[in-house]
Structure 1
Amino acid sequence: MSVPRAVDIIIPIYGAADELRDCIASVAAHTDLETHRVILVIDGPQELPSLPAWTILQNERRIGFAASVNRGIAESTRDVVLLNSDTIVTPRWIEKLIDAAYSHEDIGTVTPLSNNATLCSVPRAFEENLIPDIASFAERVERVSMRSYPRIPTGVGFCLYIRRALLDDIGLFDAKRFADGYGEENEFCLRALDRGWLHIADDATFIYHAGHRSFGNSRAERQRRARAKLPRRYTAMIAEFMKRDPLAEVRARIAAARMASAIRHPPSGLRIAHLVHGWPPFQHAGTELYAYWLVQRQRENHHVAVYTRGADPARGEREAVELDDGGARVRIVTNHFTARDPLRRNAIRDRALERDFEKFLTGERPQLLHVHHLAGHTFSLAHVAKRLGIPIVMQIQDWWFVCARVNRFDRDGNRCDGPSPAKCARCVTLTRVPAMNGLMHALRRRAARAALATADVFIAGTNAIRDDYANVVPRSTPFHVIPYGVAIEPILWSGARFGRRFSRRSAAEAAAAPPDTSARRPIRFGYVGSNAPHKGLHIAVEAMRGIDPSDATLDIHRGFTEEEKPRVFAAMDVLLVPSIGLESFGLVAHEAMACGVPVIASAGNASEFFPPGDSAALRAIVRRVIETPSLIDEWSARLPEPKHVDAHAEEIEHVYRSVLR
């Protein structure tokens, strides 16, 4: 058996220009192009980035994936590697694939491991896995590999090494029956099996696959049509493969290597599942950040998993991806809030999501479930955990359970004095059928109260939340008020402008200090958050109207990373929190105060208050600060020492232990 020195890499191209650019860069970086040849097959007219001077075949019209692949194969006389244009290859990929292909004379195809390759997916099989650091993950895969080359029933077309001897034996892909872009490699591999050829996975090679970038929303229907064309024995073979799971040891070695570099969970650690409606870096609102910080602390001593919602526009409804976030499993299920079913759209019931959540809980076997928020999911997920006998810690983060607008902010822009069926039905439209709107509100109200009734204990960050829910939650269920901690480290600047923040002078010293107006002009007022109406940004903008920019400015901060947050607060003198709707805790205000920045707010924790929605009252405070800048020092001197998130995590764990006793 002669091992080839050179192979041809065939990349069919249709759309996905950004991914193609990354693919080409990775191939150029990790392939010996003096030895191997790359053939680009452009499937029909399309706008593309500039292409390297490789072999290029241009289809006059679009002929489909299988036909484009066949054209590339016909151009070659060597072994070939079919490579999707939305992949990123890694070091020594070609050399390792060749080694695997010629480890046995009967091997016909080789498929590398990938984050998104059905039966060859890692770290979780038959899932799309998000891999933040492709290079280090690929290095780990190669380092722990035993070169066991497990046999698989079919290759996977995202990256498929095919020996020329196999092509000479059975021919090309069936481009006529499988013109839609799915199923062609499965049918090809079935024909190869019938001729005695083998298919293997290369457990030493990892290739990143973005996936689903060429067909958009049509891919589900294309996949369905392709499955219908495959023989029944294919489904049986895949079921048998999943039952035997010959890649289990491969995934276990990768997982063990990951855990060896992470903090090990002690024998006394708990198994904790978190349920939240978003996850950084994809969502950055207060509840999502709070859950993220808590999980980062808990994973040091416990086994932690997260079930959350995502909204990647490239994914279809209910499609899920898996993320290993520092040792914590995070399952992200897509919800674009576009469901036609009003029960699902309004989080009342979703049978498919319930089944997926049950599978998640069954696999994780948590000792308790910490519910942070059910928005973007469904109220009924709480019943899934209850049915499985899992204790529930329900953290109430806002007024979503009692208000479809979340913050008791009515449609006219005013604060609501409390819910009632008729008033809520007039305020929020939950269905396009007007006659059914009242019924839908009644169903939502009943589903919300039923979900609350599943809790074994409640947690809130403020007494205001507890008081507003006093007549909604079961009176016999314990309710803990635990103010949140913050996980921010301030930047300690030197110089007159910033030094005052961190000196912690007494109020008397601050008041006695001579004014330093020149060093504080313009005074920088800051706003952090979205432009949602209940956040009151328009109130802050109106309050600043007529203020001379040389005296004071309003800087609006959004879209920054957690790492950038200390610099954001360091760039302001005073934070404005002009909310109209109710705020459950005011995490941003606490972070600002932890950085020595005083807060002017309409409610919550602040150095100075003004009536909600009253821009004139806020403008008066702003003018007073301009006239007397030493107020900033006085307020800074009175700021309380913030509670750190580590202390808060310990308080939460005490609640966990009380539930599990």
Structure 2
Amino acid sequence: MSRPTVEIVVPVYNDPEGIQTTLESLLTQTTTHQIVVVDNDSTDRTPNVVRAYEKDHDHLTLCHEREIQSSYAARNTGIRNTDSEILAFVDADMTVPEDWLESALQTLQSTDADYVGCNVELTLPENPPLPARYDHHTGFPVEGYLESQHFAPTCCLFVRRAVFEDVGLFDHRLESGGDKEFGNRVYEAGYDLHFAEDVTMYHPTRNSLRAHIKKDRRVGRGLCQLQRYHPDRYGTPGVPPRPSGIKRPERDLPTKDRLAFGALSRLLTAVRGLGYYEEYLTGDRREDLEVVPRVET
């Protein structure tokens, strides 16, 4: 059986250190591949960092998504600039071992899966503060997402090109939740979703309360946008969905951590609610954009 061709799509916005870390990691892969970095109209030196790598590596290409400020729009631009059978999605600031791509391709071939989420481990800094320890504990429960919600985060995802050609690309109107919406669409179309337990990627923890609040506020806005643009699947805007509980702190923690993590979890749930109602009351309706873009456009 011939080995399928693969391209890695990496969206980035104003993160020169993160994209450098990720490219250094991806360039060690032992399997033949192409890398497409999509700059989402950065205002700092991020594009220059990528151009320096592009100059020295023929299998790395920089392209731009300047019209729509959205990581999903950036990924769509990356997809349109590829022609491989398999597409891998990695976020800037992530790292992978040298055999990551080889292991993922072996999983795709052995399972014949169409959509594969990898295992993600969070890496702690030295003397981690409470927000970092909370993030590390709740982690990236990719297997749980796949089993109960039928999606994998786009930071650790492999998808066959034929799937995009069938169901369309990511919904670029969404600020957050585009990974869930796309995964649900793939699942409803009857494709096979698979968790690659032995294919591991690494993501740094969010180490400050401010970083958590920024993320969860965005997640809240995305929850409302999912309802606005896909009410048949996610319900009518006005009542936010209940938390899934997948990332709830475990009960067997030491008492001190259980209390601290529980308080932080409740705070971030409230932040998501704030983001939800901000979007509900004042959010932009992106009616100028097509519903779900296609590969050929």
8 Å CA contact retained: 1:151, 1:200: no
| 1:102 match | 109
Deviation at 1:61, TM superposition (A): 5.2
| TM, length-normalised to structure 2 | 0.63
| 2:27 match | 28
* AA matched with 1:209: H
Q: 1:39 aligns with which of 33, 36, 39?
A: 36
Q: In structure 2, do the counterparts of structure 1 residues 355 and 8 end up closer, same or farther at CA, with 3 Å as the change threshold?
A: closer
8 Å CA contact retained: 2:117, 2:195: yes
* AA matched with 1:168: E
Give SS of 2:198's match: strand
CA distance in structure 2 between the partners assigned to 1:237 and 1:353 by the alignment: 14
Q: 1:196 aligns with which of 190, 199, 212?
A: 190
| 1:227 match | 223
| 1:57 match | 63
| TM, length-normalised to structure 1 | 0.30
Q: In structure 2, do the counterparts of structure 1 residues 72 and 31 end up closer, same or farther at CA, with 3 Å as the change threshold?
A: farther
Q: In structure 2, do the counterparts of structure 1 residues 175 and 354 end up closer, same or farther at CA, with 3 Å as the change threshold?
A: closer
Q: Deviations over 1:235-272 (max 9, x none)?
A: 79966xx5xxxxxxxxxxxxxxxxxxxxxxxxxxxx99
Deviation at 1:173, TM superposition (A): 0.6
CA distance in structure 2 between the partners assigned to 1:208 and 1:59 by the alignment: 26
CA distance in structure 1 between the partners assigned to 2:156 and 2:65 by the alignment: 21
CA distance in structure 2 between the partners assigned to 1:103 and 1:204 by the alignment: 13
Give runs of aligned pairs for residues 323-342 of structure 1, distance below 5 A: none
* AA matched with 1:20: I
Structure 1, unaligned stretches of length 5 or more? 117-126, 131-149, 243-270, 276-306, 308-330, 335-350, 357-661
| 2:155 match | 158
* AA matched with 2:45: E
Q: Deviations over 1:279-307 (max 9, x none)?
A: xxxxxxxxxxxxxxxxxxxxxxxxxxxx2
CA distance in structure 2 between the partners assigned to 1:352 and 1:159 by the alignment: 29
CA distance in structure 2 between the partners assigned to 1:221 and 1:211 by the alignment: 17
Deviation at 1:103, TM superposition (A): 3.1
Q: In structure 2, do the counterparts of structure 1 residues 47 and 198 end up closer, same or farther at CA, with 3 Å as the change threshold?
A: same
8 Å CA contact retained: 1:212, 1:219: no
Is residue 135 of structure 2 the alignment partner of residue 128 of structure 1?
yes
Is residue 83 of structure 2 the alignment partner of residue 85 of structure 1?
no
Give runs of aligned pairs for residues 211-250 of structure 1, distance below 5 A: 216=211, 217-230=213-226, 231-232=233-234
CA distance in structure 1 between the partners assigned to 2:92 and 2:75 by the alignment: 12
Q: In structure 2, do the counterparts of structure 1 residues 18 and 157 end up closer, same or farther at CA, with 3 Å as the change threshold?
A: same
Q: In structure 2, do the counterparts of structure 1 residues 172 and 61 end up closer, same or farther at CA, with 3 Å as the change threshold?
A: closer
Structure 2, unaligned stretches of length 5 or more? 55-59, 123-133, 138-145, 227-232, 236-240, 247-251, 268-297
Give SS of 1:15's match: coil
Deviation at 1:353, TM superposition (A): 5.6
Give SS of 2:114's match: strand
CA distance in structure 1 between the partners assigned to 2:265 and 2:35 by the alignment: 46
Give SS of 1:113's match: strand
Give runs of aligned pairs for residues 636-647 of structure 1, distance below 5 A: none
CA distance in structure 1 between the partners assigned to 2:178 and 2:115 by the alignment: 14
Give SS of 1:228's match: helix
Aligned length in residues: 221
Q: 1:72 aligns with which of 78, 84, 95?
A: 78
Deviation at 1:4, TM superposition (A): 3.8
Q: Which has the higher contact order (CA 8 A, sep 6+)?
A: 2
Deviation at 1:16, TM superposition (A): 2.7
CA distance in structure 1 between the partners assigned to 2:160 and 2:33 by the alignment: 15
CA distance in structure 1 between the partners assigned to 2:45 and 2:26 by the alignment: 21
Give runs of aligned pairs for residues 433-452 of structure 1, distance below 5 A: none
| 2:263 match | 352
* AA matched with 1:192: V
Deviation at 1:111, TM superposition (A): 1.1
Q: What value does the CA root-mean-square deviation take over the aligned residues?
A: 3.6
| 2:290 match | none
Q: Deviations over 1:505-535 (max 9, x none)?
A: xxxxxxxxxxxxxxxxxxxxxxxxxxxxxxx
Q: Deviations over 1:409-451 (max 9, x none)?
A: xxxxxxxxxxxxxxxxxxxxxxxxxxxxxxxxxxxxxxxxxxx
Deviation at 1:99, TM superposition (A): 2.1
8 Å CA contact retained: 1:155, 1:200: no
| 2:13 match | 14
The structure that has the greater radius of gyration is 1
Is residue 121 of structure 2 the alignment partner of residue 115 of structure 1?
yes
Give SS of 1:50's match: helix
Q: Deviations over 1:44-74 (max 9, x none)?
A: 0332262311211023456310111000001
* AA matched with 2:17: D
Q: Deviations over 1:448-488 (max 9, x none)?
A: xxxxxxxxxxxxxxxxxxxxxxxxxxxxxxxxxxxxxxxxx
| 2:230 match | none
8 Å CA contact retained: 1:86, 1:211: no
Q: In structure 2, do the counterparts of structure 1 residues 103 and 19 end up closer, same or farther at CA, with 3 Å as the change threshold?
A: same
Is residue 178 of structure 2 the alignment partner of residue 184 of structure 1?
yes
| 2:165 match | 168
8 Å CA contact retained: 1:23, 1:86: yes
The ranges of structure 1 where at least 4 consecutive aligned residues each deviate by more than 6 angstroms after the TM superposition are none
User: Percent sequence identity over matched residues?
Assistant: 20
Q: Deviations over 1:303-348 (max 9, x none)?
A: xxxx2xxxxxxxxxxxxxxxxxxxxxxx7958xxxxxxxxxxxxxx
Give SS of 1:88's match: coil
CA distance in structure 1 between the partners assigned to 2:265 and 2:4 by the alignment: 52
User: Higher helix fraction: Structure 1 or Structure 2?
Assistant: 2
* AA matched with 1:72: G
CA distance in structure 1 between the partners assigned to 2:154 and 2:265 by the alignment: 32
* AA matched with 1:47: R
Give SS of 2:197's match: strand
Q: In structure 2, do the counterparts of structure 1 residues 211 and 111 end up closer, same or farther at CA, with 3 Å as the change threshold?
A: farther
CA distance in structure 2 between the partners assigned to 1:38 and 1:160 by the alignment: 15
